[in-house]
Amino acid sequence: MSISIQAVRKAYVARGAERLALDRVDLEIAAGEFVAFVGPSGCGKSTLMNMIAGILPVTEGVIVHEGRPVRGINQHVGYMTQADAVLPWRTVRQNVELPLRFHGVPRRDRAARAEAMLDQVGLAGFGGSFPAELSGGMRKRVALAQLLAYGPETLLMDEPFGALDAQLKLLMQEQLLRIWTARRQTVVFVTHDLAEAITLAQRVVVFSGRPGRIKQIEDVALPTDRDPFRARFLPEFERAYTRLWEALAPEIRRGEAA
């Protein structure tokens, strides 16, 4: 088991009152599994991911990652968000090399590995550019190259392609799936896009509105070596979409009415 979430609750204190963000969440994620979290905004799916990353503490319960309870920043995961986290004052190459440096990779090997990773995400020749000189999609690929360079076994991704246009999103999804098929990391992918969740994940977890609870878990019957461009025209995709939408729609309506 890669990630084990046991009876986790998360409460925030705001304006003198305690507000429950997540209520009693139990979930087991196997090593090498690709899981997507979907739910209405404010359901706590990103909060749960940030608790796996150790950025936020749990209020109650335990999260065990690779056999270790998560306490404080979890340095055994890779983390990618919708907002750009590549450091703007470092060149593309320096950004990709940074985690390698932290992991004690010697200088010569760092450069070679960074080049190889940039090549893999189609950014060969851009190593000397600063992030501000690249497009949003290219910056995403820098972040991806950075994640892959130091090879964490678990990837936590919070709407990583949320800010991209639809076509670019498909290209990034294809790239991510290809990488995952080759390396088989455990992936937790948070998204509000149901189609994206089904396209990518083996299992989709639907959260209810605030306070977030797991409402439904759907296994996606698509083959693991699926093609994101064609997956959406398969009957399995349609079936999964219908069932997930039935679970999700009332939650979204409830959120809008409140």
User: Which residues are at the interface with other proteins (CB under 8 A)?
Assistant: 53-55, 73-75, 77-79, 81, 83, 85, 87-91, 98-99, 102-103, 122-126, 129-135, 138, 146, 150, 171, 175
Separation of alpha carbons 103 and 74, rounded Å: 14
For other proteins, the closer of residues 147 and 198 by Cβ is 147
Q: Reduce the secondary structure of 202-221 to three states and give it as a string.
A: CEEEEECCCCECEEEEEECC
For other proteins, the closer of residues 143 and 247 by Cβ is 143
Separation of alpha carbons 212 and 88, rounded Å: 35
Q: Nearest 5 degrees, angle CA 147-CA 44-CA 88?
A: 35
Q: How far is the CB of 152 from other proteins (least distance, A)?
A: 9
For other proteins, the closer of residues 79 and 241 by Cβ is 79
Structure tokens at 154: 């678990």
Q: What separation in angstroms does the CA of 249 have from each of 64, 129, 131, 224, 254?
A: 31, 44, 38, 27, 9
Confirm if 214 and 204 have CB atoms less than 8 A apart. no
Q: How far is the CB of 65 from other proteins (least distance, A)?
A: 12
Q: How far is the CB of 149 from other proteins (least distance, A)?
A: 10
For other proteins, the closer of residues 189 and 241 by Cβ is 189
Q: How far is the CB of 147 from other proteins (least distance, A)?
A: 9
Tell me phi and psi for residue 144, to 5 degrees.
-65, -45
Q: Is 58 exposed, middle or buried (0-12, 13-18, 19+ CB in 10 A)?
A: buried
For other proteins, the closer of residues 155 and 197 by Cβ is 155
Q: How far is the CB of 163 from other proteins (least distance, A)?
A: 14
Quick count: other Cβ atoms within 10 Å of Cβ 70? Answer: 21
Q: How far is the CB of 246 from other proteins (least distance, A)?
A: 35
For other proteins, the closer of residues 90 and 203 by Cβ is 90
